[in-house]
Each structure stands twice: as structure tokens, then as C-alpha cells.
Chain A
Amino acid sequence: MTDLGHTGNIALDEQPDMLACVDIRKAFGGVPVLKGVGLHLVPGTVTALAGENGAGKSTLMKIASGQMKADAGRVLVRGEELTAGSARDAHQRGIAIVPQELASILDTTVYENIFVGRELRGRFGLVDRRRMAREAREMLAEFGVDIDPKARMGSLPVGLRQIVEIVKATSTGARVLLLDEPTSAIAEREVARLIESMRMLRDRGVAILFTTHKMEEIRAIADRVVVLRDGGLVADEPLSELSDDDIVTAMIGRELEDLFPDLRPASDDIALSVRGLEYTPAPQPVDLQVRRGEIVGLAGLVGAGRTELIEALFGVRSSTAGEITVGGSRVRRGRPADAITAGMALVPEDRKGAGAVLSMDILANATLPRMGQFSVAGWLKGRSRVDAVSEVMSSVRLRSRGLGQLMETLSGGNQQKVVLARWLTGEVKVLLLDEPTRGVDIGARSEIYRIITDLAASGMAVVMASSDMPEILALSHRALVLKDGGVVAELDRASLQQPDVQDRIFRLASGLDISDMPSSTTPSGTAPSAKDDQ
């Protein structure tokens, strides 16, 4: 090697990363979300950004793509610093992001979505629709997707919309593609197609970063794994050097059994009894009995009908036939107010959209579902209302500046505590929970688990829908698997303790044959729960 060659090598070694984040820090309202995180993306590699809810994954992506400004730290693209907080600059430098909530324009066509903002023009500067449709078809074909570019975007399933978004993002020559929770809302066979598309882009030299908390996906596609926990970087290694256990431990930061409290046995009294409940989209009437002190988990893929079942029970969703009884007395269907009077309580999935009124304070939010109890002839009580609410809020160890604090200024975990605890100012016989820990930081999560098991132990019947498998496995006395709106299987506590149960639930939920399943051996990719049971 000559000296020249040597310097050449150094130059090669020091070739800047496609995208580098250096010591990124960000806090919201005093709560640190990222505590000095670094990230390097290399052309032609797929990096998995793993971590629990609230670990800071989405925030890091938003900063890397210029949608959000970091409090400190730099983002470098090919060695040049990105203008902080400028999505436009990031776009021009070839960074594309496909957010978790797709920003598609549903009422327009696929090709219009692909070409929005850079429409092709023909003669007289008029838009050339024919050419756009043709080019869109070619681009989609490269991704192995055969859809009519003139189809309305809203008519496509979410998985296909996502592919269209990826086509749109990369057709402008993006060299870095950021995918935020790309698999969270799509069906299993669509995941396979997504992974195909990601491989193709990788082979073209695109640097890809995607967030996930699912082991299967990391194993399927990632070259490198970066794990965030509570805003800090806890692992950054090539995939080959990490075992499943390493990744899970890095993500959760402790053994799983510490996260979940012990389940106490349920009583024999029936608290909630549902017979022949008919509602859309349930294909056949639903029967369900839940005993006092029992936690029934509802598992299934996104769109399996878990939320719909819970909504029909509570009366937010109208049902056409059936009988719901709580503690032996019948409840009028389709009336949330009657469900509340009968002793039912609902903590909905979408806290911001359905659970809390963010513009009101804690006290008002806690008063809303029990206004009758807190008022005399329409006039709100003062002292006794404040006392009752502060009691339940301290029982869940809510961290706030006082009951007058606005909901929108609380963290996700504390909002969830309010939305849950506000029911406890009155008697609750049946507690319906929909995704109780979505968007909740890990510290608050274990507290919410403790609250749920405590409430069950106090005699409540709990129905809990969750897409977090460990949550279902560790917290349920019994689990129902839903698919296409109906209940397809029921698993008792003993079955939930089996090492292969996660795979089994997954197969039931996606309609795969469970007979050809390799029994007794633990398939890779199901480590989180399996470990718990061994």
C-alpha cells in the first residue's frame, strides 16, 4: 500500500453517514423524552429502532426528519448540518418519513397522492393526468403492487395506502427513509409485502430506519438494532450480535415478571353477563360472562373488533339485539348514561380523542361521568366533590400540580390515571379497558397494571382489550381471541401459561391453521412472553 492508498482508505473510512444524529436532547414541559441520543444510518442498511411505548422513538424520528426541533444536538446529512426543525430542508436533502398516522388525502386518487405538490405538467402548463397515472402505475409495479392508480386512496386497505406513501416518499429520490411503526395498523400478509418493499429499497442503497417493538419484525429485516429506553440509548449493535433476550431486556430494562403484579383468584359470582349481543361488525351474536374479580383479556389484530365489542357493551355503539346484565339487573342497551348507572365504566383506547377533555382541568374531567352524584338539582357541589376526587387521584398516585391543572399539560401516563381513576368515585362493578397502556411511559405502566389488578381483587369484573401480548398473557385470567369482529377462541389461564401461547394466539387472530404449529418448542420471535413462563 502506498501512502496515497492509505489516505484514500482513511477518506473511505471517514465517509460521512447518510444520516447522523448527535447527542439529541428533547423535553416536553420539563419531562425529558430524549436524553442525548446518537444515531448513524448507513446506505443500504435497515436499522430497527426498538423500544417500548414512550421510549422516545417517534420523537427521535420527528427530529431526524425536521418535523420537530431538538432542544440540543445536531442532525447531519452526509456530514452537513440540517436546519433544525425544517421539514423542508430535510426533504430537500433526501430524508423521507412515513408517519404512523398516514397523511394520505383519502378523497383523491392514488396517483394524485403520489404526485401531490409536484404535479407533472404538460402543454400550456396544465396538469398531465394521463402521464401521472402511467408513471404512478410503473412506480407501484416496481414495488410489486398492482393497483389502479386511479383508485380512490380511501378505498384501499391501510397496508396498501402505506405502500403508496412509501412510493411517494421514495419517488423523489429519498436516500433515507424513516418509517414510524409501519406495522402497527396493518394485517399480517401486508407486513410481508412491506418487508419486501423495504428489502428492495435497501438493495438500492437507501438507508432505512423503522420503529417497532415486535421481535419478529426485527429478526425479519433489520441489519442493525438500536434500542431506546426512557429516552436514553441502551443498545446499538448489529443484529447478529444480539439475542432475542438481549433485545427484550434492553427494551424493558428488567425481567418481565417485575413489570406485572401477581393475579389473585376470581370469585364465582357473575358480575357481567351478556347474551346474544348483536352489533356491527360482529358476525354472530356475542355471549360473555365475567365473574367478580376476573380479568378477561381481548386479543386480536388491529381491526379484529375488540374496541367495537367494548363499545357495544358500554352502549357507545348501538346494538340491535341481546341482553346485558350487571350484577343481576338488566341494563338498557345503547345508553352510556344507563351503563354508568348500572356500575359500568369505560376507559377508551384513544385517550385524547375519546377519554379526556384536554381543555378542561382534572377536577372537571373527574366530575363528568358522575355528575349526578356530584350535584344537587343541577348545581355542582364544592367541597365534597373536591374531596372525593382528590382521594381517588391520590389512590392512583397521580402526579399533578393540583386538581386545577389542565389535562393537556399532564403526561400520557398521568392522563391515563385520571381517565381511569375518575370512575372510582362511585361504585364500579364492571370495568372496561381498551388499550390501557398505549402511549404510557414504562414507569406509569407498571403502576397502571397494579391498579388494574387491585381493582379486580376488590371485586370488579374487568374486560381488557390489548394489542400488547405480554399484557394479555400476564394480566388475564382468561383471554378471548377476536377476528373479523367475532370471538374465535377462548383461552383459560392454564393455556395462557403455555410457552407457545403467543404464537397460538397470533395464528388464531390471523386465521392461520393451528394444527401445523410446532408444538412445545418456542418459536423464535415469541421470546418476551415465553420467557415469563419458563
Chain B
Amino acid sequence: MTDTRTAAQTFVPESEVKRFSPTWFGDLAIRYAMVIVMVLIIAFFLYRSARFGTVDNLQTILVAAAPFALIALGQTLVILTGGIDLSVGSVIAAAAVFGSLTAKAFPDQIWLAIVAGVVVGFIAGAINGFVVSVIKVPPFIATLGMLTLASGVAYVAGNGAPITGLPADFSRIANAQFGGLTLPVILMIVGILGLAIVMRRTTWGMRVYAIGGNPVAAGIAGINVGRTIFSVYAISGMLAGISGVMLASRVTLGAPNLGVGYELDAIAAVVIGGASLLGGRGSIWGTALGLLLIQTLNNGLDILTVPAYWQKVIKGVLIVAAVAVDVWATRRRSR
């Protein structure tokens, strides 16, 4: 009996790191590395440019961020399950074309254009979800196929040319202002806040994290893994669909090359936000931060008239550096 007790006592509970010690600050700095980087970048641009800090410029950043935000949110869900959605850029194009065609056909009922975009996005996402969760094609391949397919459909639907001559109401969707904010910006803010709550407070959010963290354990806990995976791809597709209609409305043009390459920026935002491509780790807040970081950088570098090609170089370095810090921090924690 005495032995049992001593054996039990040999377990030393992990000691909390002492507050305000160097390690404590170190841990804090690593955890909030992205916030710190963001603050430094903002401070730098504020120092170098008078225009950067204006309300006008803030609006410019938000407007530019909005179409990326919707697909980055969808992408976050997909990546949390351990998957990836490469098709969102092309889905934007397809939704833009079909939304524009619908607006032209029903100029009096402009809301139908939005519905058309959402439906196109849902169909694309549902096909992705089905192929991944039921046929079990790896997400990379399934959505790579959809990337090409949706792009093809966009060109076929518009006969290879952009849809022009759109009704004036159509351009009001994305450009009308409510309380100083445009609809895409409002959707972005609502989307971030809404999903952040959903991921934290609903059983669905918990399922998404559990499946990404350990699909086998999730199955044993009675979670319908396939259905949940299907749902994240469907949502990702729908958000891309909305994003497509907003983009087409903003430029009043149903171009089949809208959104091309956006999937990579969306993935970059998610990854900079601290999500693991293996699934299970990441957050909506992280993605929002990653998104704003990229957009702030784009905007600030534009203002400082840094050449576009150099901007690409800087962004590339940033993506790898962000993940490197994350990998390093994870290893440090597990030690």
C-alpha cells in the first residue's frame, strides 16, 4: 500500500511558468507573434506615410480584403478538417459569370443574381465534399479537378467572353454603402464574428476540430465524419459563390477570369493565421489576422510605391517565415 502511494506521488504536475519571468514573456511573444508583427508593420507604415492612417485608406483595405475574407473563412474550415480547397478561385469565376447572366436575364429581381452565385458555389462545394468524403479522393486532387472544371464551366457559360451590359442595379450590390460600409465588408465582418462564435460554441464547430485533430477518435466518439467533411466543402463553395457575385458586381463585369489564383492567397492567410495543414489546429481569428496582415502589407507597399514584383517577394518570405515561427513554437511547447 505504501508503495502505491509513493508511486502515485512521483507524478510531478507540470509547473506553471512564473509570471513576468523571461520565459513567460518569451512564451507570450511566440503565442502572439503574428499580432506583434502586425503592430510593427502598421507602425512602420504610419511612420512612413501620412495617407496610410486615414479612414479612407482603412476602407480601401477592408474593401480589398472582403472577397478574400469569404473564401479564406471557408478555407479555414476545410483546412481545420485536414483538407484543402484549391477550387475556390475558379468557383468565384463560375459564380461571377452565372450571377451576371442571371442579372441580365432578370434585371428587375437583382437578388436572384446572388442566389444564382450561392447555388453555383454550393453545387461545386457539394461535389467536392462528395468526392472527398464518400469516394475518398484526396482533397488536393478532388479540388484540383474542380479548379479546372469550374474554370472551364465559367468560360463555356459566357462563350469565352466576359458578360457585359449588366443592369445598373447589379453594381449596387457591392458598392452601395450602409453606415459607411459596403455590403462585402459587412459580410466579411459578420462572417468572421459569426463563424468565430460557431466554431467555439456549437457541436458542429467541435466536430470540425475533432475530425482534423484525429479522425479515428472522432469516429469512435460517434461523430459522422463523412457528413461533417461534406459540410465544410459545401460551405467553402457557397462562400466562394457569394464572393464571386460581389466581385462581379464591384467591377460590373461577369469575367470568367475573376478570382483566378485567389485560392493561394486564401490558403496563405489561413496558414499565416497559425492553422496547421494537417488539420485540427487553427482559428477564425487567426485567419482574420492573416488576411488583414496580407491586405495591410499590399496596401502599405502600394502607398510606398514598392514595385509589384518586390511585393510578391516580400509576401513569399512572410508566408514561410510565419509557418517557420509556428513550427518552432510548437516544437518548443512540446518539449
Within 8 A of B (CB), among A405-453: 408-409, 411, 413, 441-444, 446-447
Of the residues B7, B202, B217, contact of A354 by C-beta under 8 Å: B217
Whether A364 lies near B8 (C-beta < 8 A) is: no
27 A–B pairs (Cβ distance < 8 Å), ordered by A? A29-B14, A32-B12, A231-B10, A259-B4, A314-B220, A316-B220, A336-B220, A337-B223, A337-B224, A339-B222, A340-B221, A340-B222, A348-B217, A355-B220, A357-B280, A359-B214, A360-B209, A364-B206, A364-B210, A368-B221, A371-B203, A371-B207, A378-B202, A378-B204, A399-B13, A401-B16, A446-B7
Q: How far is the CB of A353 from chain B (nearest CB, A)?
A: 6
Whether A360 lies near B280 (C-beta < 8 A) is: yes
Within 8 A of A (CB), among B318-332: none
Q: How far is the CB of A349 from chain B (nearest CB, A)?
A: 11
How many pairs, one residue from A and one from B, have CB atoms within 8 Å of each other in the complex?
122
Bin the interface of chain B by size: 35 or more
Within 8 A of B (CB), among A338-391: 339-340, 346, 348, 353-360, 364, 367-369, 371-372, 374-375, 378-380
Whether A30 lies near B217 (C-beta < 8 A) is: no
Of the residues A30, A339, A380, A442, contact of B13 by C-beta under 8 Å: A30
Q: Which residues of A have CB within 8 Å of B13?
A: 30, 399-401
Contact flags A287-326 to B (C-beta < 8 A → 1, else 0): 0000000000000000000000000001010000000000
Tell me if A254 counts as interface (CB < 8 A to partner B): yes
In the bound assembly, the distance between CA atoms of A442 and B140 in angstroms comes to: 44
Whether B201 lies near A411 (C-beta < 8 A) is: no
Tell me if B1 counts as interface (CB < 8 A to partner A): yes
Q: Which residues of B have CB within 8 Å of A348?
A: 217, 220
Q: A355-B217, A378-B204, A443-B11 are in contact. Are A258 and B4 (CB under 8 A)?
A: yes
Whether B202 lies near A409 (C-beta < 8 A) is: no
Whether B8 lies near A30 (C-beta < 8 A) is: no
In the bound assembly, the distance between CA atoms of A50 and B207 in angstroms comes to: 42
Whether B222 lies near A258 (C-beta < 8 A) is: no
Whether A359 lies near B213 (C-beta < 8 A) is: yes
| Interface residues of A, dominant DSSP | mixed
Tell me if B218 counts as interface (CB < 8 A to partner A): yes
In the bound assembly, the distance between CA atoms of A169 and B289 in angstroms comes to: 49
Whether A356 lies near B12 (C-beta < 8 A) is: no
Q: Which residues of A have CB within 8 Å of B7?
A: 230, 253, 441-443, 446
Q: A346-B220, A369-B221 are in contact. Are A357 and B209 (CB under 8 A)?
A: yes
In the bound assembly, the distance between CA atoms of A254 and B204 in angstroms comes to: 48
Q: How far is the CB of A363 from chain B (nearest CB, A)?
A: 10
Within 8 A of B (CB), among A216-249: 230-231
Q: How far is the CB of B21 from chain A (nearest CB, A)?
A: 15
Whether A380 lies near B202 (C-beta < 8 A) is: yes
Residue of A nearest to B222 (CB): A337
Q: A316-B220, A359-B280 are in contact. Are A254 and B214 (CB under 8 A)?
A: no
In the bound assembly, the distance between CA atoms of A446 and B207 in angstroms comes to: 33
